[in-house]
């Protein structure tokens, strides 16, 4: 038997002998099967394999079998993730996950190369330059999309209800997200566009709302969470609390009881109970769904748009001895109603689909925003 395979078997047996005090025959049989498969691959596969890469792929396969968001990061991948804001590398401006072995766009971030090119939430990335995505891990696919600022990349996507594959040639940029934008629409509607839940998002939201309130003509508000892939749970809680006087905002549940928590609103509605419409779409995920779901459950806002993405889980980056890490789902979000967001999302009170292919948020082609404004004028 190959020395490499023997080492893996020994390490595996040591681990499982510590982890399972009782008889676990089935587990040992699986370890034996795993070692047999490794040996067959190493001795009989048509090409010589990189054994280290094969083991990384096996580890990643275990994690990806859990859910679309858990994955393995080699030391190189972890380092790249930690330094991606240094200015050396550029990106496309999309939040992605894994589904059925293909990279799925959770949300294109507003005013980034991907959104300007026309990439949409729900698109499946099947090819990156000349590399097929099928069979690659999420981390590997993300690595392929990274590159020098100013360099170009070609991605091929499949889109629901579109027969032909779509090809986008995109130039990489340093992604700088303007978390919050605001304006007054039709002289009386306070419009707040939230693109992400970053460390200072709640402070920016509070500042923008305070500025809007100075205009005494404003009698209603629109909170736009479309194509917002989420971010920090703490920010979602604070922003939800701005519009609620009391009650539960969100809870997290896990196998680890220390992760089971409930978060509640404090007294004080920053817009004094004025009418609030929240816009969501398939690109609204995670923290966006917490805010939209809490406001809907408390009947504090009317939700308009499309069903949200359904990413209701919390991931933690857990360091490993080899200086790599695993991204592991450690808990799930639950709305005040007790419903899980995972894979279901938040359903709007009024469903309005994007009308045209050239749809752009907060432009004349934005039929969802136009509907919200019409609703406020009735």
Alpha-carbon gap, residue 289 to 309, rounded angstroms = 8
Alpha-carbon gap, residue 141 to 114, rounded angstroms = 16
Q: Is 311 a catalytic residue?
A: yes
DSSP 257: G
Alpha-carbon gap, residue 123 to 68, rounded angstroms = 15
Q: Is 297 a catalytic residue?
A: yes
3-state secondary structure of 284: coil
Which one is catalytic: 35, 240, 286, 288? 286
Sheet holding 350-351, edge to edge: 180-185, 189-194, 220-224, 275-280, 302-305, 350-351
Give which of 211, 206, 210, 185 is closest to 194, Cα–Cα: 206
With vertex at residue 24, the alpha carbon angle to CA 18 and CA 26, rounded to the nearest 5 degrees, is 130
Which one is catalytic: 123, 297, 313, 366? 297
Which one is catalytic: 104, 136, 238, 311? 311
Give which of 176, 116, 173, 175 is closest to 150, Cα–Cα: 173
Alpha-carbon gap, residue 354 to 367, rounded angstroms = 7
3-state secondary structure of 318: strand
- Contact by Cβ (8 Å): 242, 206: yes
Residue 338, classified by CB atoms within 10 Å of its CB into exposed (0-12), middle (13-18) or buried (19+), is exposed
Alpha-carbon gap, residue 326 to 315, rounded angstroms = 10
- Residues annotated catalytic, as ranges: 286, 297, 311
């Amino acid at each position: 038997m190959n020395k490499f395979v023997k080492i893996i078997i020994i390490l595996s047996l040591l681990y499982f002998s510590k982890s399972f005090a009782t008889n676990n025959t089935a587990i040992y049989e699986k370890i034996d099967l795993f070692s047999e498969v490794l040996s067959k691959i190493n001795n009989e596969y048509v090409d010589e394999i990189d054994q280290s890469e094969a083991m990384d792929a096996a580890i990643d396969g275990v994690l990806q079998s859990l859910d679309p968001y858990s994955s393995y990061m080699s030391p190189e991948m972890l380092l790249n993730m930690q330094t991606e804001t240094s200015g050396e590398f550029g990106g496309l401006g999309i939040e992605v996950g894994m589904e059925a072995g293909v990279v799925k766009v959770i949300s294109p971030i507003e005013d980034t190369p991907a959104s300007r090119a026309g990439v949409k939430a729900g698109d499946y990335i099947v090819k990156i330059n000349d590399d097929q995505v099928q069979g690659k891990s999420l981390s590997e696919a993300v690595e392929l999309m990274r590159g020098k600022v100013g360099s170009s990349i070609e991605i091929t996507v499949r889109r629901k209800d579109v027969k032909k594959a779509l090809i986008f040639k995109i130039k990489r940029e340093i992604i700088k997200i303007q978390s919050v934008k605001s304006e007054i629409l039709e002289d009386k509607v306070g419009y707040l566009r939230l693109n992400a839940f970053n460390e200072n998002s709640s402070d920016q939201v509070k500042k923008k709302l305070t500025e809007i309130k100075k205009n005494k003509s404003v009698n209603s508000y629109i909170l736009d969470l479309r194509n917002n892939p989420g971010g920090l749970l703490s920010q979602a809680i604070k922003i939800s609390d701005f519009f609620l006087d009391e009650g539960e905002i969100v809870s997290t549940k896990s196998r680890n009881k220390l992760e089971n928590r409930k978060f509640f609103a404090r007294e004080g509605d920053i817009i004094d109970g004025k009418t609030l419409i929240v816009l969501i779409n398939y690109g609204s995920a995670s923290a966006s769904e917490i805010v939209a779901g809490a406001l809907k459950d408390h009947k504090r806002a009317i939700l308009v748009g499309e069903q949200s993405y359904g990413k209701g889980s919390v991931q933690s980056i857990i360091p490993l001895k080899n200086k790599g890490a695993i991204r592991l789902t450690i808990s799930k979000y639950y709305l005040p109603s007790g419903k899980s967001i995972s894979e279901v999302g938040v359903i709007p009170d009024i469903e309005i689909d994007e009308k045209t292919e050239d749809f752009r948020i907060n432009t004349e082609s934005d039929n969802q925003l136009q509907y919200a404004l019409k609703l406020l004028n009735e």
